[in-house]
Amino acid sequence: MKSRRIIGSSVVIATAGLLLGSACGGKGEHATASPAPAPTVVVAEVTQQTVPIYSEFVGQTAANETVEVRARAQGMLEKILFTEGAPVRKGQILFQIQKSEYQARVLVAKAALGQAEAELAESKERNAVVQAEELLARAQTNLSLAHSNHERYRPLAKEKAVTEIDLDTARAAEDAAKTEVNAAQATLKNQTAAAKYNIAKASAAVESAKADLALANINLTYCTIYSPISGIIGLQEVNVGNLVGKDGPTLLATISSSGSLDVDFNISEAYLLKLTKTGQAGSRRGVGFELLLSDNTVYEHQGRFSVVDRTVDPRTGTIKVRASFPNASNRLRPGQFARLRVAAEEVADAVLVPQVAVQELQSAKYVLVVGSDNKVSQRTIQVGDRYEDSYIVTEGLKAGERVVTEGVQKVRPGMVVNPTVKAGSA
């Protein structure tokens, strides 16, 4: 048993020696193997160009006009003549309220007007006045005759051709005729005043009847409801068959103008002065705003200043302004979240480096630069404003240099790399 263990140990030692010899021989054979290949990285060239400096603001879209369509006539809703959420034009019929009751009121008003006009015509005939004028004329004739008799009897009485009684009778007849004339004049005056009163009263009744007819016609027009503006109409608030207008003007639908939309936002006083100063912008209405939608795409039309509020908020130092954007395609809707950006100035010959190439270490920004020998070096840089997906470099880089944008984690300063350009970049 002991001899078996010795033999086994000898076999193990011999085998180990053979393996060791084989390993040493292999090391000698591969001593001249080639080094590992250089890592591949994506690089981008630092560019130089004149770029605008953008500022962003946050606001919300709103329609120029928003109108609530309400029922001004009471009655059953008979028809709805629009599609919810669709464009409508000014003057388009939207709703129809039952109007038989209002048509009947128009007929009643017309009849009342006809009666009032007939009474006015009758009052204008002035029959009583004419009779009073005739009575006065007769009285004046009688007075003239009585006066002539009296005057004729006076000289005759002096000559005793007629008695004093005849003279007194002639005088009494003249006095009676005068009294009759005065009475006729009073009657004519009263009849004239009464006629004027009756004509005025009848005329007022005619005007009142005309007003009632006009009101009846207006109420009849309220049964057909038209769109007051062109725009997008919202959801209907009532259904056919509902009684509307009973307890006040019932809300039927809401329309918002859509030809252009406004965005209200706040801007600092200093920045407003920068935007509105004379220069390339021309005027405050010449400044172009870009609208960034919720998916970060840029709206195809630029906006322009439309309103600047009358005062600056002393608590924040900002002023509310409004920019208007064309919206012929109805792509924008009121109430959307809006990000606006505007370029108030330009930087000439700005050195641009992609943002993805910039790293940060202990508050310092640096990039990995690939030299003409494809060796990597680390460069600390100073950056300013952003332009699109790049930084404006104020110190540390120059146009034409190459910086690593992908594969930064695979390289270290001093390493030689295999630089490639990302497909689609120039």
Helix (H/G/I), strand (E/B), else coil: 143: helix
Say if residue 249 is in the same domain as residue 278: no
Residue written as tokens 């007929």?
107
* Distance from the Cα of residue 141 to its chain's centroid: 82
Say if residue 244 is in the same domain as residue 145: no
The count of other CB atoms within 10 Å of the CB of residue 356 is 15
Least trusted range by pLDDT, from 12-21, 106-115, 163-172: 12-21
Least trusted range by pLDDT, from 84-98, 168-182, 204-218: 168-182
Q: What is the mean pLDDT of residues 363-382?
A: 92
Cα distances from 77 to residues 104, 221, 238, 251, in angstroms, run 18, 14, 8, 12
Question: What is the band of 80 on the pLDDT scale with cuts at 50, 70, 90?
Answer: very high
Q: What is the mean pLDDT of residues 121-134?
A: 81
Last-in-domain residue among 236, 256, 276: 256
Q: Is residue 36 part of a domain?
A: no
Say if residue 137 is in the same domain as residue 168: yes
Q: Regarding predicted confidence, which is higher, 217 or 131?
A: 217
Say if residue 251 is in the same domain as residue 333: no
* pLDDT of the residue at 212: 95
Judged against a pLDDT cut of 90, whether residue 363 lies above it is answered with no
Q: Is residue 107 part of a domain?
A: yes
Please return the burial class of 41, using the count of CB atoms within 10 Å of its CB with bins 0-12, 13-18 and 19+: buried
Q: What is the mean pLDDT of residues 317-344?
A: 88
Q: Which residues of 365-391 are buried (b: 16+ CB within 10 A; e: fewer)?
A: bbbbbbeeeeebeeeebebebebeebb
Say if residue 380 is in the same domain as residue 273: yes
Q: Is residue 27 part of a domain?
A: no
Say if residue 386 is in the same domain as residue 284: yes
Q: What is the mean pLDDT of residues 94-113?
A: 96
Q: What is the mean pLDDT of residues 68-92?
A: 95
Closest CA to 379 of 408, 407, 350, 410: 408
Least trusted range by pLDDT, from 94-98, 284-288, 357-361, 393-397: 284-288
Q: Is residue 37 part of a domain?
A: no
- CA–CA distance, 43 with 20 (Å, rounded to integer): 47
Say if residue 301 is in the same domain as residue 407: yes
Q: Is residue 31 part of a domain?
A: no
Judged against a pLDDT cut of 50, whether residue 30 lies above it is answered with no
- In the chain, DSSP finds a helix count (H) and a strand count (E) of 5, 21
Q: Regarding predicted confidence, which is higher, 4 or 153?
A: 153
Judged against a pLDDT cut of 80, whether residue 145 lies above it is answered with yes
Helix (H/G/I), strand (E/B), else coil: 71: strand
Say if residue 199 is in the same domain as residue 140: yes
* pLDDT of the residue at 256: 94
Judged against a pLDDT cut of 70, whether residue 277 lies above it is answered with no
Please return the burial class of 422, using the count of CB atoms within 10 Å of its CB with bins 0-12, 13-18 and 19+: exposed
Q: Tell me which residue range forms the domain holding 150.
A: 101-221
Say if residue 271 is in the same domain as residue 415: yes
CATH number of the domain within which 194 lies: 1.10.287.620
Q: Is residue 131 part of a domain?
A: yes
- CA–CA distance, 229 with 65 (Å, rounded to integer): 8
Q: What is the 3-state secondary structure (H, E, C) of 345-368?
A: EEEEEEEEEEHHHCEEECCEEEEE
Q: Is residue 30 part of a domain?
A: no
Judged against a pLDDT cut of 60, whether residue 426 lies above it is answered with no
Report whether 191 contacts 134 (CB < 8 A). no
User: What is the chain's mean pLDDT, rounded?
Assistant: 84
Q: What is the mean pLDDT of residues 188-214?
A: 90
Q: What is the mean pLDDT of residues 145-174?
A: 84
Closest CA to 260 of 343, 331, 321: 331
Q: What is the mean pLDDT of residues 159-166?
A: 81
Q: What is the mean pLDDT of residues 260-268?
A: 90
* pLDDT of the residue at 223: 96
Q: Is residue 12 part of a domain?
A: no
What percentage of the chain carries pLDDT values higher than 70?
Answer: 88
- The CA-to-CA distance between both ends of the chain, in Å, stands at 81
- CA–CA distance, 332 with 344 (Å, rounded to integer): 25
Q: What does the chain come to in residues? A: 426
Judged against a pLDDT cut of 70, whether residue 26 lies above it is answered with no
CATH number of the domain within which 403 lies: 2.40.30.170
CATH number of the domain within which 86 lies: 2.40.50.100
Helix (H/G/I), strand (E/B), else coil: 300: coil
* pLDDT of the residue at 188: 83
Say if residue 214 is in the same domain as residue 248: no
Question: What is the band of 78 on the pLDDT scale with cuts at 50, 70, 90?
Answer: very high
Question: What is the band of 49 on the pLDDT scale with cuts at 50, 70, 90?
Answer: very high
Number of domain units in the chain: 3
Say if residue 215 is in the same domain as residue 333: no
Judged against a pLDDT cut of 60, whether residue 46 lies above it is answered with yes
What single letter denotes the amino acid at residue 171? Answer: R
Structure tokens at 396: 């540390």
Least trusted range by pLDDT, from 7-16, 44-53, 64-73, 82-91: 7-16
Q: Regarding predicted confidence, which is higher, 368 or 163?
A: 368
Residue written as tokens 């129809």?
96
Say if residue 125 is in the same domain as residue 163: yes
